[in-house]
Structure 1
């Protein structure tokens, strides 16, 4: 049978389409971001990274900023988000509550771990954790490991509180600011006496503010932030997203990491690395 050139080209195109994994016409990816920094700046960053991811994955990618970690977990639960960037503790809770799946772990400053610190102003006269008796403190988020649980655990280790339920008996007032930057700004501006946040949270302040603050306590190492997916997310789409994110480790794409909280890069997540966070959550009565 003689095949005309037009028919041959149509046949080649059909074969090519058949060999390519199909994506549903209405398929898209929704990403939830935690406001660890100024939400207005984060919105601009999201537009840049979601546009790039859309081109890499081949489906529309949308992003939005949640109020806090709990809101991100709820968005994953009800399908308003497919993937979320969050700390290890929120992941552990989301894993227990909704079966969330870890995809990627963050590498920051060359390490897969970081710490939580208690920050104060240098002119505050506060030199030890005991000096914060009856003083006000701002934490980042009630389900943040470096922005709440691990810094607060340092007070327990020092014998100043018997557990999280006793925190308000020690401090004057306890606030949850909604993010690292908000907690640090409240402390730097003198609205509170101390802030519990990531060891790198001071980088969210201006150089002038950084020169005016210090830290008085530091937690043990905490596994880095993690990118998680809701249960039931299409496996092919999840893998496309993961592969695209790993491309950010390449020199030609590394500049885009500045739009994702500024890590050095990403590696595939190892669930076992978060066992210490699971133990902390259990000790605080959050994952019993």
Structure 2
């Protein structure tokens, strides 16, 4: 069964309408004004309500490093980030590897910095410890599997490829649903609304810590399997009309932002970089393994061209 990117395209279209009403065009004089805010498209990020929001922390740290105001533009998901960049509504966005490959594949968005993967599995498919499912082979058409978002690397694309390689085809060998986020997949699993929740390997490490992003104690969940690693963990994408001076300023600032001293403030955003050294101005070849793996999962990213 071949999964096209129709759902992603629908989200892109909806995002265009929303963003057109709340953001200016790059045709305005603001684009070349060095005193103008740097606009950053941000998706919802789970955080500890008692601590600093990672997105707010990133904006503050980037502002400090660049000497420019940083304005956060909230968008619902990764596909909305891509559309905001393609339509020149924001300057930059940060996304995980697969949606970054989607964006780069359009030829209308630039990747200005990327963090390679660390070679470790990035996704896991979890069940409750008392589940009758013991291995991936136990999954059947009656099994409901929760994914985070159609454009999520660790919450959809990578586990989808893992299941496909195990001989399990989406909507044929199991019933798939999109929860809207990693936290919502895990909540659905806890509440018994789904049998399996596929998510990032980051989250199970938080078991027993009272972290709201992983509402389980140690031993309450089990993994049925883990995905392969990703060639790119995170990428910073930019509007192609971004002035060179602003682009260079951001490139100089980012390595100052993503340092160990800021790890606690950046939370999940820092964890997502997987501790690797960033690559400035990565070429399209860095994202090619995603295109190759997409074929395994039956996802045609050329639909966004």
TM-score range, shorter chain: 0.7 to 0.9
Which aligned pairs between 1:1-288 and structure 2 lie closer than 5 A?
24=33, 27-37=36-46, 44-106=53-115, 111=118, 114-133=121-140, 134-161=142-169, 167-171=170-174, 173-203=175-205, 207=209, 209-211=216-218, 212-223=220-231, 224-250=233-259, 252-258=261-267, 260-262=269-271, 263=273, 264=275, 267-269=278-280, 270-271=282-283, 272-282=285-295, 283-287=298-302
Distance in 2 between the 1:112 and 1:241 partners? 27
* Alpha-carbon offset, residue 98 of structure 1: 4.7
- Segments of 5+ residues of structure 1 without an aligned counterpart are 1-22, 162-166
Alpha-carbon displacement from aligned partner over 1:247-286 (angstroms, at most 9, x marks no partner): 1355554544337343446512544332211212354222
Point out which structure has higher relative CO (alpha carbons under 8 A, 6+ apart).
2
CA contact (8 A) 2:58 2:257 kept: no
Structure 2: runs of 5+ lacking an equivalent: 1-31, 210-214
Tell me, what secondary structure is at the counterpart of 1:89?
helix
Query: Shift in Å at residue 238 of structure 1?
Result: 1.5
**SS of match in other structure, 2:168:** coil
Compared CA separation, residues 238 and 73, structure 1 to 2 (3 A): same
Give the corresponding residue for 1:12. none
Do 2:124 and 2:223's aligned partners in 1 also have CA atoms closer than 8 Å?
yes
Q: How many Å apart are 1:44 and its aligned residue?
A: 3.1
CA distance in 2, matches of 1:249, 1:76: 22
- Aligned residue pairs, count: 258
Instruction: Point out the structure with the larger helix share.
Output: 1
- Classify 1:103/1:137 alpha carbon distance in 2 versus 1 (closer, same or farther; 3 Å): same
- Give the number of the structure whose alpha-carbon radius of gyration is greater: 1
Q: CA deviation at 1:206?
A: 5.2
Q: Distance in 2 between matches of 1:144 and 1:182?
A: 13
Q: TM-score with structure 2 length normalisation? A: 0.74
| Contact 1:38/1:181 (<8 A) preserved | no
